[in-house]
Structure 1
Amino acid sequence: MGRLPLLGALPIIALLTVSACARPTGDFGRAERNVLNDEIMPAIGNTISDGSRFNLADQEIEMRDRVWRYLVAPHAYDWFGDVAVEFQRTRITPISNKPLKTRKYYDWLHSERFASSRVRYTRIEEDAIADLGMMPSAFASVCAVIEIDRQRGLASNQIAGLEDEVSVNAMKRHAENEAVIGWFARSVSYRYESYSYALDHLLVETPHEEAIGANARLNELAVWVEAAQRGDFCGDFGSHGNRDSTAIPSRVLRSAPDEGPYRK
């Protein structure tokens, strides 16, 4: 099947932009598969992109489903952001390295009418807990793909008589996997920075002792973020979810006679 020129694909992309919804979430934080997001859009992406023509291995599908929840930002309630992620995930558009605005999460917390100003701190803590809960399985899925790429590289180099196209597709798939892993690492960092930005500003806007619990969860999340930035997905930490024993020191940001210290 020949590639569809980008200009010819623009009407299709425009139609999908209008009709597409955020990819639904299934069990354990993974994406829920459906015809639009997992058949139609990938087919268009395969036609437009110059990516690998290899089928995805089970481990590669699992990784993409596991890390997907970190690539979208439901906490910002930005529908266009979620659709943009789908275009990038399905290769209709390239993966973007453009920095995201960390204040969007705080802007949503600030504008939402909660019953109590304390609830905003609870929301930060709950969102961080949700991210923490899925992190071990996400790391394990990334580790599995790193091993798949290692095995694929060995086979490509050691099996004689393979067509050049096979080696090219293997290299392209490795590059695609690396791009997804890098996207995941940037996204978990963005989430942590968004939560931290919100906590910093809430400490000034509506100081409450609930900040201590939110800060504790962010300290836990920071350990995973640092591991992702190092590319440490396959050690005991990444595979089994063991936390680094090194504590991240808190900073006393503010204290009040009636409510005690608030930590960040």
Structure 2
Amino acid sequence: MQGAGFAAAAAVLLVLAACGPRPVGDFGRAAPSYMHDVAMPATGTVLASARGEPVSDFNQTDEERLMHDRIWRFLVAPHAKDWSFDFVTELQRTRITPVGSRAFGVERYYSWLRETHYQSSGVRYATLSRHILADIDTIPATFAAICAVIEVDRQRAAAIATLSSLGPNEAAEARSRKAENDQSIAWFVAMLNYRFESYNYALDHLLVETPAPQSVTVDYELTRLGHHVARANAHDFCSGATWRHAQQGAPIRSRFATQAVDNEVIAIK
């Protein structure tokens, strides 16, 4: 019977594997998909439970749904498909395979970057810079979404401790949901580190292969990204002006709106 179960699971995986990565809509956002939103998660829930992983039957809160949407952008990279392992990530996101079951090499992004044809080697630095800035621009709202879920888990724990009408089933479900949320947050942190290390690897190798003045700008932007990575590693998602800005619902200002303007007047000779 157990062998038949594994055979059935293997058959399901083969069917799903033929479906390809999750479809992507405008601006790299996840597009709605019955296969990826319903069928694969349902299968993943069964498989995760069979592996003995925590599985909660609670409905998702708005905060949890938003956190998963925000995190998804860091788990895949539509701008570098050969680097991002889209379908492998989707199998993990839907829990068909365990989260973190595949380690990605940091050289993948650089390999994609150097094999992509550009008219000028300086454009590779510009591409690297653009990808780093896109991450920096979206991290504050992602931190805010994670912080909101941490607060939801805190509120659940407080309710369980104070409401006498709740039984052991609710407490077990709450613990399982917190474990699921913690796993998602840990995965985000790991993939943010992976991106940061991949960008550093790419810059180091570009400096040797095609030295260019643009490397100074990229190095500065990597330093900025490194501050966010350090906060993520410390699980410091709920402090700082960037979190307060995102928490208030204000849009993230464009870097073109926040860049320093040179007002120096140069006399014409």
Q: Give the TM-score, by structure 2 length.
A: 0.82
Q: Which residue of 1 aligns with 2:169?
A: 165
Structure 1 residue 168 displacement after superposition: 1.0
Q: Is the 8 A contact 2:189 2:232 kept in 1?
A: yes
Aligned residues: 238
Q: Which residue of 1 aligns with 2:21?
A: 21
Q: Which runs of 5+ in 2 are unaligned?
A: 50-54, 247-269
Q: Distance in 1 between matches of 2:141 and 2:42?
A: 28
Deviations 1:13-54 (A, max 9, x none): 111111132342456x64333222111111212232221111
Any residues of structure 2 matched to 1:244-263 within 5 Å, and which? Answer: none
Does residue 42 in structure 1 map to residue 46 in structure 2?
Answer: no
- For the residue of structure 2 that corresponds to 1:19, the secondary structure is coil
Q: Provide the aligned C-alpha RMSD in A.
A: 2.1
Return the match for 2:60 from 46, 56, 60.
56
- For the residue of structure 1 that corresponds to 2:18, the secondary structure is helix
Q: Distance in 2 between matches of 1:33 and 1:62?
A: 14
Instruction: Using the TM superposition, name which of 171-180 and 72-81 deviates more.
Output: 72-81
Q: Is the 8 A contact 1:22 1:79 kept in 2?
A: no
Does residue 113 in structure 1 map to residue 112 in structure 2?
Answer: no
Q: Is the 8 A contact 1:72 1:81 kept in 2?
A: yes
Deviations 1:123-146 (A, max 9, x none): 110000111111111011000000
Q: Is the 8 A contact 2:83 2:108 kept in 1?
A: no
Q: Distance in 1 between matches of 2:95 and 2:161?
A: 27
Q: What one-letter code is carried by the residue in structure 2 that aligns with 1:231?
A: H
Any residues of structure 2 matched to 1:34-183 within 5 Å, and which? Answer: 34-50=33-49, 51-78=55-82, 81-96=85-100, 98-183=102-187
Instruction: Using the TM superposition, name which of 166-175 and 42-51 deviates more.
Output: 42-51
CA pair 80-30 structure 1, distance change in 2 beyond 3 A: closer
Q: Is the 8 A contact 1:20 1:83 kept in 2?
A: yes
Percent identity between matched residues is 39
Q: Which runs of 5+ in 1 are unaligned?
A: 243-264
Structure 1 residue 241 displacement after superposition: 6.0
Q: Distance in 1 between matches of 2:141 and 2:95?
A: 24
Q: Give the TM-score, by structure 1 length.
A: 0.84
Q: Is the 8 A contact 2:77 2:84 kept in 1?
A: no
Q: Distance in 2 between matches of 1:189 and 1:197?
A: 12
Q: Which residue of 2 aligns with 1:31?
A: 30
